[in-house]
C-alpha cells in the first residue's frame, strides 16, 4: 500500500519548514479537522489529498490565518506560532492562492495586487515576476473582464510578491485547460528549484503523481496516511481517499440504446451579453438525441452559465426555433413553458439558483414542480396541496438516499452532495424527456457523485436526451456518448467518445491558441534588451 | 473584546416567536431610562403610556381608531417587504387614496345612496394602488431605486393634498378654513357601537384584510411566490416567476391597502378632506410591519401596540407633562430593538474576550 | 450685478448641507454599507448644534456638538447593521424615525428661540471685491469646509492605500476578508465618518441657513442627499454638481414663489422632490453605468467566519 511514516519521507534531516501537530477545527457539531498531523520540508511539493468535504480547505485556511484552530499547534521553521490573520501568515512567509479567487472585479489588476502590498512597488516587480514565472498579465485590465486563467495569474503574482517560503495552492488546475495546467507545473518546478515549498491541494491524482514528492491524505477530517505518490497508483490513492472501492458509473450499465430522434435541438443560438462582465453566445448549433448523453467540456467563464439560461428559458430567444425541446419550438417560451413540454433543468449553483437556501425541502420541491404538477400540487385559487408536495419530497429523499437532519430541513442545512442529490432527484421524479444539467457533481463527495452519474445514464437509457455541462473532464469521459467543447461563447462540434482524447479536448478548451499576446511582447522586449 | 455571530443551521423557532416580545421588553427598559433622565417618575410614566389607555371602553375605541389604519397599511407592507420591494411611500399612497375616495362626495355631492360608501372605498384602494404603481413602473422599466422614488412621492402627495384642501376642494362655506365640505352620512364609515365609543368600521375592514392576506401568504402559490422572490430572486426566476410582475403586485397591493386605509380614515374618523389627514401612519406602519414579523396576523397585535403608544403619548402629555414626541422615540426604539433581536433568529451571539484562541462564551 | 451674486450665494447656502451629507454617505456606501438614516442623523445634528450653540454662546461648539451627535447616532446604526448584520434598509429607516423623534423631543424647548449664526468669513479687501468678493471670500465657514471635504474624500479614495482598501471592501467583502482586511473595522469608521458629516450638514441648517430650530427642519434633505450619491455614480467630484443642481432648483422655486407667477406654491415646493425622481430615473436607465459603478457588496450584511 505504501502508507509510510511521514518522517522517513522527508529527504533531508534539516528542520521541517512546517510542522502541523494535532490540529483540530470544530464548527458547532461538525468536526472539520480531527487531530491532523502534517510535515513539509523545504524545497518540497507536498500534496494534500482528499475528496470534497474531507477538510482540506479548512486546514489550509488555518495555515493562512483565516480560521483559528480549536486545538493543536503549528510549528513554523522550528518555532511554534499562532497565525491570527492572513497578514501574519504573509509576514511569516506563507502565501496562498485560493480556489475561489479573492479578487475585486471593479478594480484593475494592478489595484488588486496593490491590495496586499504598498502601491509604489507594483508595476516593475509585478512585470518582472510575470515574465520570470511565465505568467503574462496586463496591469491595467479590469479584473471583471479577464478570463479565469488570467485571474489566477493575478492571484499567483500577488502571492509571489510577498516572497513566501511556502505557497499553498487550492485546486489550482480546476479552472485551467490541460495546456495551461502544464505551464503552471513548469512554474511550480521553478519555484521548487529555488528552495520554496508548495502545499498542493487537489483531487486530481494524475497531477499529484506527476508533480508531488509527498502526500497527506485526509478523509472525513482525519489523516488516513502519508505516502509518496510516485510509489502509488491512482487506484491506491483513490482508495485511501474514499476508503472503499468506488464503483465508477459505467456507460455500459444497461443495454446501449440506439439513439432516437433529436429531443434537444439548438439552432444558431445567439445571445448578447446580459451584463458588462458576461460572455455573449455566438451561433451555437447542437443536437442531442433520445437515449444519448452529450457532454459539454470547458473551463469556467466561457459562457456555460449564459448557455444554460438560454436553454432553460430564463433568457428568451428572438427566434422560436433557436431552441427546440422534445420536438417543440421553445425559443419564446419561459422556463415554465419548457418544463411543460417535458424538459427539466439543474443549474450549477445549488443555493441561490436551483434552490432557495432558507426554504424547506418541501418548498424547494414546489419551486420547480408547481407548473408541471399543478393538477396534484395545486387546488382552487392557487391553494397549495401540502400532502402532494410532501409525498413528492419523501419519494425523492428515499430514491436518492438524501441524508439530512430533521424531517423537512432548510436547503442550506444539507451538505452539498445531499442537496445536489435532492435537486437532481426532484427533476428525475418527473421522468423528463429532456434533462439539462450544469456541473452535476461539483463539490460533491465521491459516493453522491457516483449515484448522480448513475442516475443521469439511467435516464438517458430510458429514452431521454441528456445534456451535461461540466468542467470535470474525467466525469465527461465517464458518462458521455459524445463531447463538445465550449470556448468563448461558442460550442465545437461534438466528438464521439471513441474518438475523443484529453489532448484534443484540452486544445479545444484552450481555444487552440499558442500563447498570450502580452507574454510574447514582454518576452521580445527582454530579448532585445539583452 | 469582539462580538461573533455564528450561523445557526436552521432558523430558531424559539426566537422567531419571542423576538418581538424581547424587543418590547428592551423598549420598556429604555423607556424607564428616558423617563428617569427627563426627571419623571418612570413607573408612573410607563403606566400612563401603556396601561391607562386601556382602562376604559371608550379608550379601547380610540385604540381601534388609531390601530385600524396602522394594521391595514402594515398588512400590505408586510407582503411588499417579504418580496423585497421596499415601499416606503405608504404615507403618500394613504393620502392619494384619501383624495381619490373623497372625489365622490366632493365632486358629486348629490350622489348619496347605499352605493356611495362602497364606491368611495373602491376609489380609495384604486387611488393608492395607482400611486404605488409609479415607483413600481420606475423600478421595472428604469431600474430606479424604489425606496427613494416612493419616498419623494410622499412629499409630492402631501403638497398636492395641501393645495387641494386650500384651493379647489375648499368648502366655500367654510369661513376660509382649509378643508372640504363635511361629508354627508351616506359618505361616512359608520361607527361600530356609537353608544360605547367612536370606533368605526375601518377597524373591522383592516382585520378582515389581515386575515385574507394572511391566508394568501400561508396557503396559496402566490404567497409562496412572494416569499421565494424575496428570499432568492434567481431561484424565483428559475421557478418560472417574474420579478417584474411581483414588483407590481407588491406595490399595487400595498399601495391599494394604504389607499383604502386613507379613505377609511377620511370617511370614518375625520369626516372631511383636510390639508393633513395622517399623523404619520404610513411611516409608523413600517414599524408595525416589522414588529409583526412581516406576518399579516402579527400586524394586528403589533398595530394595537403602536396605537397604544400614540394614545399613551397624548395621555402622558396631559397628565405628566411629558412631551408627546417621546411617543415617537418609543416607536423608533421598538423598530430598532426588533431588528436587533431578529439577529438571534439566524445567529448565536458569542462575546470573545482577548486572545481568540482562548475563548470564553456568553451565548445568546 | 450684486443681485446675481446674491442669488449665487443663496444657492451655495442651499447646496452646502446637501454636499456635506452626500459626501459622507458616499464614503459609507463605498465601503459597502447603505445607511438610509441620513435624514435622522442630519436632524439630530441640527437640533444638537442649535442647542449647544445657544447654551454655550458659541456656534463652533454647536458645530462640534452636531458632529458628535451625528456620529453617536451612526454608531447605533453601525452596531446593528455591521456587528449584528441586520437588514440595512430597515435599520436605516429605524434610525431616521428614531432621529426625527429624538430631535423633536430634544428640540421642544428650543422652538421659536432665536439662534446664533456662524459668522461669515470676512477678509479685509478680498471680501469687498465687487461681484465675486463675497462669493469667494465671504461665505460661511462650512461652505469652505464642504469643498475641502469633497477634495479630501477624492484624494483619500483614489490616491491612498486605505482608500483603495475601502473600495475593495465595497467591491467584495468576502475577498477582502480572505485577504486579511478587517472589514468590520473599516465599515465602522466609514459609518462614523458619514454620521459626522450628516450631523455637520444638519448644523449648517440650524446655524447658518436659518438660525432657528423648527421641528423636522431637514424636510427631506437627507433623502435628497442619498439620491445625490446614486446620481453621482459614487464619484466625489460629481456630487458637487448634483448638490448645486439641487440647490439651484430649491432656490429657484423659492424665488418663483416670491415672485408670485400664479403657479401654486405647493407645486413649486414639490419641484425639488420631482427633480430628484427625474434625476434618479435618468441615471439608473444606463445599466452599464450602474453595474460598473455601484459598489457590488452594497447593503449586503457581512458576517466574518473565524
β partners of residue A197: A166
Mean pLDDT within A399-423:
90
Query: To the nearest whole angstrom, how far is the Cα of A93 from the nearest Cα of chain C?
Result: 15
Model confidence at A468: pLDDT above 60: yes
Q: Which residues of C touch A88 (CB under 8 A)?
A: 180
Question: What pLDDT does residue A257 have?
Answer: 66
pLDDT band at A143; cut points 50, 70, 90 = confident
Give the minimum alpha-carbon distance from A272 to chain C in angstroms, rounded to a whole number.
14
Chains that touch C (3 or more CB pairs under 8 A): A, B
Touching chains, A (3+ CB pairs < 8 A): B, C
| pLDDT range class, residue B362, cuts 50, 70, 90 | very low
Query: Chain C contact for A105, CB < 8 A?
Result: yes
Contact of A223 with A79, CB cutoff 8 Å: no
> Range with the lowest mean pLDDT among A114-128, A138-152, B60-74?
A114-128
Identify the sign of the CA torsion C104, C106, C110, C114. Answer: negative
Tell me the average pLDDT across B305-330. 85
Residue A432 CA neighbour count, 13 Å, CB half: 31
B189-236: pLDDT as tens digits: 999 888 888 889 999 999 999 999 999 999 999 999 999 999 999 999
* Helix segments in A161-233, DSSP class H: 178-193, 205-211
Report how far residue C207's alpha carbon sits from residue C217's, in angstroms, rounded to the nearest whole number: 12
What confidence score (pLDDT) does residue C254 get? Answer: 87
Query: Considering only CA atoms, which of A87, A469, A511 is closest in space to residue A293?
Result: A469
Exposed / middle / buried, residue C272 (Cβ in 10 Å: 0-12, 13-18, 19+): buried
Strands A166-170 and A94-97: parallel
Of A115, A275, A277, the CB nearest to C165: A115
Q: Which three cell numbers stand for residue B72?
A: 391595514
The alpha carbon torsion through C136, C138, C140, C141 (nearest 10 deg) reads: 70
Min Cα separation A215/chain C (Å): 26
Q: Hey, what's the cell of B219?
A: 396557503
Percent pLDDT > 90 in chain A is: 45
pLDDT at B356: 47
Ramachandran sector of residue B176 (left: φ over 0; alpha: ψ -120 to 50; beta: rest): left
Q: Tell me what the pLDDT averaged over chain A comes to.
A: 84
pLDDT per residue over B58-110, tens digit each? 889 999 999 999 999 999 999 999 999 999 999 999 999 999 999 999 999 88
Q: Is the ipTM of this complex over 0.95?
A: no
The answer to whether A357 contacts B231, with C-beta atoms less than 8 Å apart, is yes
Instruction: Point out the residue among B6, B234, B356 whose CB comes nearest to the CB of A352.
Output: B234
Give the whole-angstrom CA distance, residue C208 versus residue C39. Answer: 18
**Residue B173 phi, psi (nearest 5):** -100, 25
Q: Has residue A246 got a pLDDT over 90?
A: no
B339/C270 touch (CB, cutoff 8 Å), yes or no: no
Annotate B189-250 with DSSP letters as a single string: PPBS-TTT---BTHHHHHHHHHHHHHHHHHHBHHHHHHHHHHH-HHHHHHTT--HHHHHHHH
Closest CA to B260 of B224, B290, B285: B285
Percent of all residues in chain B with a pLDDT value above 70, rounded to a whole number: 97
Instruction: State the Cα–Cα distance between residues B23 and B339, nearest whole angstrom.
Output: 8
Kindly report the nearest CA distance between residue C100 and chain B, in angstroms: 8
Architecture of domain C2-293: Orthogonal Bundle (1.10)
CB proximity C176 to A under 8 Å: yes
Q: Taking phi first (over 0 means left), then psi (-120 to 50 degrees means alpha), and beta for anything else, what does residue B234 get?
A: alpha
At residue A288, does pLDDT exceed 90? yes
Please provide the DSSP assignment of chain C as one string.
Answer: -HHHHHHHHHHHHHHHHHHHHHHHHHHHHHTT---TTHHHHHHHHHHHHHHHHHHHS-HHHHHHHHHHHHHHHHHHHHIIIIIS---HHHHHHHHHHHHHHHHHHHHGGGTT----PPPPP--TTTTT-TTTHHHHHSS-HHHHHHHHHHHHHHHHHHHSHHHHHHHHHHH-HHHHHHTT--HHHHHHHHHHHHHHHHHHHHHHIIIIISSS--TTTTTTHHHHHHHHHHHTTT-HHHHHHHHHHHHHHHHHHHHHHHHT-SS-HHHHHHHHHHHHHHHHHHHHH-HHHHHHHS-TTTT-------
Model-wide pTM > 0.80: yes
- Collect all residues of chain A within an 8 Å Cβ-Cβ radius of residue B239: 335, 367-368, 370
Cα separation of C52 and C35, whole Å?
26
The DSSP symbol for B168 reads T
Are residues A87 and C296, on separate chains, in Cβ contact within 8 Å? no
Q: Which residue has the cell 402594515?
A: B74
Q: Which domains does chain B have, with CATH numbers?
A: 64-324 (1.10.3470)
Q: Do A98 and C178 touch (CB under 8 A)?
A: yes
Residue range B284-294: average pLDDT?
95
With a CB cutoff of 8 Å and minimum separation 6, the contacts of A273 are A279, A280, A306
Over residues A327-345, the mean pLDDT reads 95
Tell which of B83, B219, B235 to mutate to test the A interface (max A CBs under 10 Å).
B235
Please state the φ and ψ torsions of residue A198, each to the nearest 5 degrees.
-130, 130
Domain ranges of chain C: 2-293
Confidence of residue A120 (pLDDT cuts 50, 70, 90): low
Q: Nearest CA to B127 among B244, B250, B257? A: B257
Q: Which of these ranges, A126-140, A142-156, A483-497, C38-52, has the smallest mean pLDDT?
A: A126-140
Q: Out of B6, B237, B356, whose CB is closest to A84?
A: B356
Task: Find the farthest-apart pair of alpha carbons in chain C and give their distance in angstroms, rounded.
Answer: 66
Are A276 and C288 in contact (CB < 8 Å)?
A: yes
Q: Which of C177, C288, C292 sits opposite A106 (nearest CB)?
A: C292
Of A43-47, A174-178, C77-81, C200-204, give the lowest mean pLDDT range: A174-178
Distance CA A54, CA A33 (A): 8
B282 SS3 class = helix
Q: Which residues of chain C have pLDDT under 70?
A: 1, 306
State how far the Cα of A409 lies from the Cα of A231, in Å rounded to an integer.
45
pLDDT of residue A247: 52
DSSP for A214-240, please give it: EEEEEETTEEEEEE-GGGS-HHHHHHH
Nearest-Cα distance to chain A for C159, in Å, is 10
Q: How far is CA B303 from the centre of its chain?
A: 7
Confidence of residue A528 (pLDDT cuts 50, 70, 90): very low
Q: What angle do CA A54, A60, A65 make, to 5 degrees?
A: 140
Q: pLDDT class for B138, splitting at 50, 70, 90?
A: very high
DSSP string, B41-109: -HHHHHIIIIIGGGSSHHHHHHHHHHHHHHHHHHHHHHHHHHTT-----HHHHHHHHHHHHHHHHHH-T
One DSSP character per residue, B26-37 reads HHHHHHHHHHHH
C263 interfacial to chain B (CB closer than 8 Å): no
- Considering only CB atoms, which chain B residues are within 8 Å of C95? 332, 336
CA–CA–CA angle B306, B312, B318 (5° rounding): 155
pLDDT for A529: 42
Residues of chain A neighbouring B345 (CB-CB closer than 8 A): none
Q: Does residue B353 surpass a pLDDT of 90?
A: no
Task: Give CA A22 to chain center in angstroms.
Answer: 29
Report the range of poorest mean pLDDT among A105-109, A268-272, B78-82: A105-109
User: Sign of torsion, CA A294 A299 A300 A303?
Assistant: negative
pLDDT computed for residue B8 by the predictor:
82
Rounded average pLDDT over B336-361: 74
| Coil, helix or strand at residue A39 | strand
pLDDT of residue A517: 32
Amino acid at each position: 500500500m505504501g502508507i509510510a511514516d511521514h518522517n522517513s519521507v522527508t529527504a533531508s534531516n534539516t528542520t521541517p519548514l512546517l510542522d502541523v501537530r494535532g490540529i483540530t477545527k470544530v464548527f458547532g457539531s461538525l468536526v472539520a479537522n480531527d487531530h491532523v498531523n502534517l510535515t513539509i520540508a523545504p524545497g518540497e511539493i507536498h500534496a494534500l489529498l482528499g475528496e470534497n468535504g474531507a477538510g482540506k480547505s479548512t486546514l489550509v485556511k488555518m495555515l493562512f490565518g483565516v480560521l483559528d484552530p480549536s486545538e493543536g499547534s503549528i510549528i513554523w521553521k522550528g518555532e511554534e506560532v499562532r497565525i491570527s490573520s492572513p497578514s501574519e501568515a504573509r509576514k511569516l512567509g506563507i502565501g496562498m492562492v485560493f480556489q475561489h479567487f479573492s479578487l475585486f472585479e471593479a478594480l484593475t489588476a494592478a489595484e488588486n495586487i496593490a491590495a496586499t502590498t504598498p502601491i509604489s512597488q507594483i508595476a516593475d516587480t509585478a512585470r518582472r515576476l510575470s515574465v520570470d514565472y511565465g505568467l503574462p498579465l496586463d496591469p491595467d485590465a479590469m479584473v471583471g473582464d479577464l478570463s479565469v486563467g488570467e485571474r489566477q495569474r493575478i492571484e499567483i503574482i500577488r502571492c509571489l510578491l510577498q516572497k513566501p517560503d511556502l505557497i499553498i495552492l487550492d485546486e489550482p488546475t480546476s479552472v485551467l485547460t490541460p495546456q495551461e495546467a502544464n505551464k503552471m507545473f513548469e512554474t511550480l518546478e521553478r519555484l521548487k528549484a529555488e528552495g520554496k515549498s508548495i502545499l498542493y491541494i487537489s483531487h486530481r491524482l494524475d497531477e499529484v503523481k506527476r508533480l508531488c514528492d509527498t502526500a497527506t491524505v485526509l478523509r472525513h477530517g482525519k489523516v488516513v496516511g502519508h505516502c509518496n505518490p510516485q510509489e502509488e497508483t491512482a487506484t491506491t490513492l483513490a482508495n485511501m481517499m474514499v476508503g472503499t472501492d468506488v464503483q465508477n458509473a459505467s456507460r455500459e450499465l444497461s443495454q446501449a440504446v440506439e439513439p432516437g430522434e433529436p429531443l434537444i435541438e439548438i439552432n444558431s443560438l445567439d445571445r448578447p451579453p446580459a451584463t458588462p462582465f458576461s460572455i455573449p453566445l455566438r451561433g451555437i448549433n447542437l443536437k442531442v438525441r433520445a437515449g444519448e448523453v452529450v457532454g459539454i467540456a470547458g473551463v469556467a467563464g466561457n459562457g456555460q452559465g449564459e448557455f444554460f439560461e438560454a436553454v432553460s428559458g430564463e433568457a428568451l430567444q428572438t427566434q422560436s426555433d433557436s431552441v427546440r425541446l422534445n420536438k417543440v419550438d421553445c425559443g419564446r417560451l419561459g422556463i415554465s413553458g419548457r418544463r411543460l413540454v417535458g424538459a427539466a433543468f439543474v443549474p450549477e449553483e445549488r443555493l441561490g439558483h436551483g434552490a432557495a437556501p432558507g426554504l424547506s425541502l418541501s418548498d424547494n420541491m414546489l419551486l420547480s414542480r408547481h407548473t408541471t404538477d399543478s393538477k396534484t400540487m395545486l387546488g382552487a385559487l392557487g391553494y397549495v396541496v401540502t400532502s402532494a408536495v410532501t409525498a413528492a419530497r419523501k419519494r425523492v429523499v428515499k430514491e436518492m438516499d438524501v441524508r439530512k437532519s430533521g424531517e423537512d430541513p432548510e436547503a442550506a442545512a444539507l451538505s452539498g452532495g445531499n442537496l445536489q442529490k435532492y435537486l437532481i432527484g426532484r427533476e428525475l421524479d418527473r421522468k423528463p424527456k429532456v434533462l439539462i444539467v450544469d456541473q452535476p457533481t461539483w463539490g460533491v463527495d465521491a459516493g453522491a457523485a457516483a449515484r448522480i452519474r448513475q442516475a443521469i445514464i439511467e435516464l438517458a437509457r430510458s429514452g431521454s436526451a441528456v445534456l451535461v455541462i461540466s468542467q470535470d473532464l474525467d466525469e465527461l469521459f465517464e458518462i458521455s456518448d459524445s463531447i463538445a467543447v465550449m470556448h468563448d461563447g461558442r460550442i465545437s462540434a461534438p466528438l464521439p467518445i471513441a474518438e475523443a482524447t484529453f489532448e484534443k479536448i484540452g486544445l479545444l478548451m484552450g481555444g487552440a491558441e499558442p500563447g498570450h499576446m502580452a507574454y510574447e511582447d514582454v518576452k521580445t522586449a527582454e530579448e532585445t534588451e539583452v | 473584546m469582539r462580538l461573533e455571530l455564528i450561523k445557526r443551521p436552521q432558523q430558531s423557532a424559539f426566537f422567531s416567536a419571542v423576538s418581538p416580545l424581547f424587543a418590547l421588553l428592551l423598549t420598556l427598559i429604555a423607556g424607564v431610562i428616558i423617563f428617569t433622565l427627563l426627571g419623571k417618575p418612570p413607573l408612573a410614566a410607563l403606566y400612563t403610556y401603556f396601561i391607562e389607555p386601556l382602562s376604559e371602553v371608550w379608550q379601547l375605541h380610540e385604540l381601534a381608531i388609531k390601530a385600524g389604519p396602522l394594521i391595514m397599511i402594515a398588512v400590505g407592507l408586510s407582503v411588499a417587504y417579504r418580496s423585497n420591494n421596499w415601499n416606503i411611500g405608504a404615507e403618500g399612497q394613504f393620502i392619494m387614496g384619501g383624495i381619490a375616495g373623497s372625489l365622490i362626495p366632493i365632486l358629486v355631492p348629490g350622489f348619496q345612496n347605499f352605493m356611495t360608501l362602497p364606491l368611495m372605498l373602491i376609489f380609495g384602494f384604486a387611488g393608492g394602488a395607482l400611486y404605488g404603481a409609479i415607483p413600481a413602473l420606475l423600478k421595472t422599466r428604469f431600474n430606479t431605486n424604489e425606496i427613494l422614488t416612493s419616498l419623494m412621492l410622499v412629499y409630492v402627495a402631501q403638497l398636492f393634498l395641501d393645495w387641494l384642501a386650500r384651493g379647489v376642494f375648499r368648502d366655500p362655506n367654510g369661513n376660509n378654513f382649509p378643508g372640504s365640505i363635511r361629508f354627508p352620512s351616506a359618505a361616512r364609515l359608520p361607527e361600530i357601537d356609537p353608544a360605547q365609543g367612536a370606533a368605526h368600521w375601518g377597524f373591522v375592514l383592516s382585520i378582515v384584510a389581515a386575515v385574507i392576506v394572511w391566508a394568501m401568504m400561508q396557503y396559496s402559490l402566490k404567497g409562496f411566490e412572494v416569499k421565494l422572490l424575496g428570499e432568492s430572486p434567481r431561484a424565483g426566476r428559475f421557478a418560472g416567476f417574474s420579478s417584474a410582475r411581483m414588483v407590481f403586485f407588491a406595490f399595487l397591493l400595498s399601495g391599494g391597502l394604504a389607499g383604502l386605509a386613507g379613505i377609511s380614515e377620511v370617511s370614518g374618523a375625520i369626516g372631511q378632506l383636510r390639508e393633513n389627514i395622517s399623523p404619520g401612519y404610513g411611516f409608523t406602519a413600517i414599524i408595525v410591519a416589522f414588529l409583526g414579523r412581516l406576518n399579516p396576523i402579527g400586524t394586528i397585535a403589533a398595530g394595537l401596540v403602536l396605537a397604544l403608544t400614540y394614545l399613551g403619548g397624548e395621555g402622558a402629555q396631559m397628565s405628566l407633562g411629558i412631551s408627546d414626541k417621546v411617543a415617537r422615540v418609543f416607536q423608533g426604539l421598538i423598530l430598532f430593538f426588533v431588528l436587533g433581536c431578529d439577529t438571534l433568529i439566524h445567529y448565536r451571539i458569542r462575546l470573545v474576550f482577548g486572545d481568540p484562541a482562548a475563548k470564553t462564551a456568553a451565548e445568546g | 450685478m450684486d443681485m446675481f451674486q446674491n442669488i449665487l450665494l443663496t444657492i451655495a447656502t442651499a447646496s452646502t448641507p446637501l454636499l456635506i451629507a452626500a459626501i459622507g454617505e458616499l464614503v459609507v456606501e463605498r465601503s459597502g454599507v447603505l445607511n438610509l438614516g441620513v435624514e435622522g442623523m442630519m436632524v439630530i445634528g441640527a437640533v444638537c448644534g442649535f442647542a449647544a450653540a445657544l447654551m454655550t454662546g458659541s456656534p463652533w461648539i454647536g458645530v462640534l456638538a452636531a458632529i458628535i451627535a451625528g456620529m453617536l447616532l451612526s454608531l447605533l446604526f453601525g452596531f446593528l447593521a455591521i456587528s449584528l448584520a441586520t437588514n440595512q434598509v430597515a435599520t436605516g429607516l429605524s434610525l431616521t424615525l428614531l432621529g426625527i423623534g429624538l430631535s423633536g423631543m430634544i428640540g421642544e424647548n428650543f422652538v421659536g428661540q432665536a439662534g446664533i449664526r456662524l459668522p461669515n468669513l470676512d477678509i479685509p479687501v478680498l471680501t469687498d471685491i465687487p461681484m465675486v468678493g463675497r462669493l469667494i471670500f465671504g461665505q460661511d465657514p462650512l461652505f469652505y469646509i464642504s469643498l475641502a471635504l469633497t477634495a479630501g474624500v477624492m484624494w483619500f479614495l483614489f490616491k491612498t492605500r486605505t482608500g483603495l482598501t475601502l473600495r475593495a471592501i465595497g467591491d467584495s467583502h468576502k475577498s477582502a476578508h480572505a485577504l486579511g482586511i478587517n472589514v468590520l473595522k473599516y465599515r465602522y469608521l466609514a459609518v462614523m465618518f458619514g454620521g459626522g458629516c450628516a450631523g455637520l450638514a444638519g448644523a449648517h441648517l440650524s446655524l447658518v441657513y436659518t438660525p432657528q430650530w423648527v421641528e423636522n427642519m431637514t424636510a427631506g434633505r437627507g433623502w435628497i442627499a442619498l439620491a445625490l450619491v446614486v446620481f453621482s455614480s459614487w464619484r466625489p467630484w460629481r456630487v458637487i454638481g448634483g448638490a448645486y443642481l439641487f440647490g439651484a432648483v430649491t432656490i429657484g422655486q423659492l424665488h418663483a414663489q416670491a415672485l408670485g407667477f400664479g403657479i401654486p406654491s405647493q407645486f413649486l415646493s414639490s419641484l425639488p422632490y420631482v427633480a430628484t425622481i427625474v434625476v434618479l430615473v435618468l441615471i439608473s436607465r444606463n445599466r452599464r453605468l450602474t453595474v460598473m459603478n455601484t459598489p457590488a457588496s452594497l447593503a449586503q450584511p457581512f458576517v466574518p467566519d473565524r
